[in-house]
Each structure stands twice: as structure tokens, then as C-alpha cells.
Chains A and B, each alone.
Chain A
């Protein structure tokens, strides 16, 4: 298992431990106005603590507590204990249920006081069951334990329909309601669903309850089997309440099917508070009680102005906090970075925070955990993102401000929260590389690659290109000249080839004469000229024959005579060679050259 997996598992374990350690206590009453002949249900719910803890009730001089029920649940490892107290009012007054206290693991949790109005008779305009008050408290070392609310009226308006349903089902004595506090929520906006089973008659046993099924909605149960009483149209009804947190999955219609209770009624007697104490009921045929279906119209959050840091959260009063478990580490050591979002709404379906690349750190995947708790108004959610950062080199680095946006359904605008930047001081690592080598030698030779970055800026002048090549390449005209040059050369050779060939013997002869140092060399040059120019081979021919050939070629007699005298001189020298003086050689060469030029110009091929 590599270190990355170990770190991730560690982060997940830490997250789960943190979630388990969070203790909260909620106290609520089913009504805040009641008459002397009514009863009050106080529900205290403790989550996150062991089931054997007990809340300490304050002195309650205005009430007689005649019943106490305890129920415990354990869902996904999270324990929840509910204490339900049924109390009878003693005299008309403005009573107060003081702070309920809980001592757990050395910490004290307490709820806010709840005010109750007790009347001799319920005055006109006051609804006995129309108001529920709730106070909550939570621990874990934050300022959360002082958070509470005098939350009058968190019962959805839809419960007013209970009056009408009660009238319809007066003879039956049973009915169910289902209501939500918002029928047009945004995607991921939290909606509270309250399902109540009202009964004014007794029934046998514990009737099975079938919760509602939902489509296009994410549903989570907030509390279950909260009991209370409500005076509807002069009849005292008891009810069992289930609360759910809903959040729409995608824009469009969302259906909540009816919840159901299958029961076997007892006698037809009107229910009274004291009948519970005495059993022995006769049964009637089984009945199926259904709540009303509910349809929600879920809206999409607007795309205009949606920030990149929006992960789908919809709600209000969110807070964002980032915390590193240490700010001074050695290079290569890990830092646990925790980003916590809190607020009113459901954060479970929102996407995980995406961390940007943080300069100087290797960043591992984010593990998230969310906790949703019932609060004064709806629910309070906490989502925690945990990641591990490993600095790759020493220095002072800053974890930049992280942004997290949510859509506020009240203002209908996106709001962005930012964390404070966190400065981390990283000192050089003092630990040796723990690479194990079975060959005895360290394969990495003490080298460990930490990361990759661009190279530093250039501070010198550029002198890389080969200048003369670049200049040569820029001479485009020269290129065309060089391409045309062989072509021109070929044309010249092709067109003027004959005249050039004819001139060649003279040119060669003149060049040879310039170098001649003896009569013999001059004679040989003249031989070559006659052969090349007139195709006359001197060989062993007589001078007369040669002169005749030249005459035929058109050479003038004066030139022929001059050629004859030169030839005789050279012929004599050929058989009696002697070294010429340089001056004489030059004169001879000049004479011969002049003669050859005349021969060339006068003669024909």
C-alpha cells in the first residue's frame, strides 16, 4: 500500500471520528399556547452521545410530568436518544421551561429556555397546536453550543389543512397530513416535509407506518415518532410526527407519494389523556390511512453569474473556514488541511471542493464528510473537506484563499465565501531518504525529484543564430541568380560552341608561347596550332606542301612567306638546339604570336 492510500485512509478515519465526536441536544415542545385541559409534549433529542446519558430537566412548577418515554436509535454509527415527556399544566400562567442541561465527557451542553402560555380556556385567535418552539444545543468546541432559536412557526403552513381533514374524518377519528414549507425550491435547496398521523380514537397495538416514496428528490429523515397533541375544532387529537429533509435532484416536477398507516381501531370512544392509562379496547375492521400526495416544482439555479467556485449548494447563512493542523513543517512532511462549510441547508448532495494547484505542495485528493442536524429552522449542515498537502521543498509558502460559492434563494443571487490565506513555513528535511536497497547501494544516489517547474528567465543577450548564414539566407535575389547562372552558361555554350571551339587552338597556342623558352617549344606550339585550327599535321611533311595547304585555306601570300621564314628558323633550331636568351625568346614568341593571329584570322577551317 503506498503512502498516498495510507494518508487518504487516515484522512477518512479522522473525518469519521470528528463526525462521531459531534454531540448535539435539541429540545422542542409541540405547542407554546395551551389550555388547562390540554397536555404538552416536550421532546429532548440527543445525538452523538452514548444512549445511557440523561438530560437534566430544570424545575417545572407549572407542570406535572406524568409520562416519560425513551427511545434510542443508531443509524450509520450515529446514536440518537429521544426523551419524550408528557406534561399537564397546573395553573394559568406564562411559564418557562428553563435550560435543559447535559453533561457528557466533561462538557456541558444546554438548550435555550422555552416560553409557554397556559390559559384557563384557549382565547379566540390562539391556536393550541399551531406553534412549535424548539431550542437546540451542540458541542464539539465551536460556538455552536450557544446557537439557538426562538423559532416560532416552523410548522409548514400546509398543516393548516389539518382542520379541513379533521372535519372530513370526524367520524373515523384518524387522518394523516403531509406538508412542505416550500413548493418551488431550487435544486439542492432544502425543503422540510412533515408527515403527521392524527388520531382522536384509540387503536390496537403499534400500527405499521409506511413512509412516503419520492421521485427526483433526495430525502433524509430528520426525526421520527415525535408525539404531540393538537386541539382541532374542539376535538383533542394526538399526533405522531415524522420530519424529513428533502432536496431536489434536478429541475422539474418532483412527486411525494402518500405516507400510510395501517391500523385496527379500538372502541369509538373519544380519546382522553387518561384513557392511555387504562387499556382493554374492542377492535374494529382494519383501516388504511393515507396522507395527501405533494408535488414540488423544482427550479434550476440561474446560469447567469454562476461562479466557477459554485458546487451546487443552495441555502443561507453559510460560513467557510480553512485550517491547517500545523504551519511549520519539514519538507516532505504532511499537513492536514481542513475546510469546513456550515450553514442552513443540505450540503450532502453538493460536489466536493476542488483545490487549485498550490505552489510548493503536492496536493492529494479531497475527502469529504457531511453532517446534517435538525435545527431551529430546518436543518444545519456541516460539510468538511480534508486533504493532505506535502511541501516538496523548503521555503515560506502560502495556501491561497479558497473560494466557495452558494446560491442564496432569498436574495436569488450567488454569494462567494473565501478563506483566509494560510502561511506555511517549510524547513529543509532532516530525515534521510528511507528507500530500501537490497543491493547495498542507494539506487537514487541521494537524488530525489521533487517536482518540475519552468526554467529561469534569460538575463543575457541572445547570440544563438549563425549570423552569416542568416544574412546569406536573406539574399533572395542571389538565389535566383545562382539558379539562372548554370542555365545561362549552358545556353552560351550551346549557342556559341562552334566559334569558341574555333578560337580555342589560338588561345591555347598564345598561352603556350608566353611560356616558351626555346625554339623547339615554339615549333611544337605552332605544330599544335596548325593541327587544331586547320587540321594540318606537320609531321614529316615538306614545308612546300604545308604552304600549299595554307594557301588553299585562304592565307595571304605575305603571311605565307613570313610563316615560311619563321618555320625554317625553327626547323634549323630543332636539329641544332641551343638555349635562347630570355630576350630572344620573348621576341620570337611575339613574332610567332602575331603570325598565328594573322593565320587564324585569314585562314578557313
Chain B
């Protein structure tokens, strides 16, 4: 009975893998034929099974970009970038999509190399590094307390812990930033949550904004590049 159950699970797993491969091949075929909408549907189905796969987000971003929806493309590239920041293709496409909206991935004045170094590890990997440093430091500290001897290795581990901890804190600030992107072709920035407030700016799709508040289907935002604040209709934004 047990063997039967194992066999069933194995067959099910193989069937799922085969189906996923078939879907990926079908989506690629649609993409190469220029049927981006059909490919997008398949990738969005795939996302339900793999919600943390950066490549699925990347492929969805590609479909949106080709369909002219730069805003939705930026949102999906950004999700992929958060999960796999070392991937050169994701970085390239995100930079290109942001450029088309007048935004930049690397903030002005920051060297490209430094930015790449800062994002060399994913947020989860960085947490693992911090945990490793914490574990080694903790054990060496205990040993030192008992033996009343503080070796060089302990100091090295404590320094590594401080550096990785600071890095994790800085990344945490980035990760938890409530970012959104303008997804509709244009969006009006108003001084209050309603159309009876005057519009102060017009934003094209792909602009990054930081969410501040929300009220009656309107979001208060700060436009990242301009630093100006205002209210935008929630339906015009895609939260990252």
C-alpha cells in the first residue's frame, strides 16, 4: 500500500513537471509569434503555481513591455529584481523599462558598481548571511565567556555580523518601501483625494511612486524622481 502511494506521488510529480514544461514551450511559441497577450495569459497561470519565481515575473514583464504597457512591465521586472537581483537580464530589462519612463534604477550619484554590490544578494540570502555571522559570533562569545579568552576569530565574526547587519537593515528599508508604479497611460496628480481638487502634474506610465496614505480609492503618493506629493486614483497604480 505504501509503495503504491509513493508511486502515485511520483507519477503526479512527473505529470506536473511535464505540464509546466509544455506550458512554457507554448508560451515561448506565442511570444516569438508576437502573440504577447496569449503568452501573458499562460505566464500568469504559471505564476499561481510559482508565486516566488522571478523568471515568471520577468517573462510577464516582457509581455507587458511588448504590448506597450510600460508601467505593468516595470512592476513585474521590479518583483523579479527583488527575488533575483544578481540576474543581468532582469537588471537590463528593468533599467530599460524605467528609462523609457524617465526613471533610473541606479540613483543619481551612486556608482553602478556600488549599486550592483549592494544588490549582489537577495534579501533572503542576506538574512541567511546575517544568521550565519550571528551563530558563529554567539558560539565564540559563549566560549570566550567560559574560558575568559577572546580570540581574533571572535572579533572577525563580530565585525562581519555588524557589517552584514547594517547591510540587512539598509536592504530592509528598500524592501519594505511601499512602492507603486503608474500603470495607466497617464495619471493626474491632484492635491486631494478626488477630482474636485486641482491637478498639479501629469504622470506617464512607468513612473515610480512611494505610497503614503490611502482614502476612497485614491492613494497619496510621493513621486520618487521629482519629490512632489499628491493624490492619484488607485486604479491608475500597480503596487509592487
A residues with a Cβ closer than 8 A to B are: 452-462, 464-466, 468-475, 478-479, 482-483, 485-486, 489-490, 493
Contacts and interface: CB of A to CB of B under 8 A. Distances in A.
Given A462-B53, A482-B135, A483-B138, A472 B128 contact: yes
15 contacts: A452-B96, A455-B89, A455-B93, A457-B28, A457-B39, A457-B59, A462-B53, A465-B84, A472-B132, A474-B127, A474-B128, A479-B131, A482-B135, A486-B138, A486-B142
Interface in B51-71: 53-55, 58-59, 62, 65-66
B101 to A, nearest CB: 13
Given A455-B92, A470-B124, A478-B135, 17 more contacts: A454-B66, A454-B96, A458-B89, A462-B84, A465-B122, A465-B125, A466-B125, A466-B128, A468-B128, A469-B121, A469-B125, A470-B122, A473-B127, A473-B128, A479-B131, A483-B138, A493-B145
A510 B65 CA distance: 76
B31 interface: yes
Most buried by A among B24, B126, B129, B131: B131
Contacts, number: 98
B105 to A, nearest CB: 14
A483 B55 contact: no
Contacts of B142: 485-486, 489
A461 B55 contact: yes
Contacts of B134: 479, 482-483
A489 B139 CA distance: 10
B128 A462 contact: no
B58 A458 contact: yes
A485 B58 CA distance: 42
B131 A478 contact: yes
B20 to A, nearest CB: 9
B209 to A, nearest CB: 23
Contacts of B83: 465
B239 interface: no
Interface string B133-146: 01100110110011
Contacts of A471: 128
Interface in B189-230: none
Interface in B1-59: 24, 27-28, 31, 39, 53-55, 58-59
Nearest to A452: B96
B175 interface: no
B125 to A, nearest CB: 5
A470 B138 CA distance: 20
Nearest to A475: B131
Interface string B74-90: 00000000011011010
> Lowest 4 CB-CB distances: which A-B pairs, in order?
A473-B127, A469-B128, A473-B128, A458-B55
Given A464-B87, A470-B128, A483-B134, A454 B93 contact: yes
A226 to B, nearest CB: 49
B130 interface: yes
Contacts of B96: 452-454
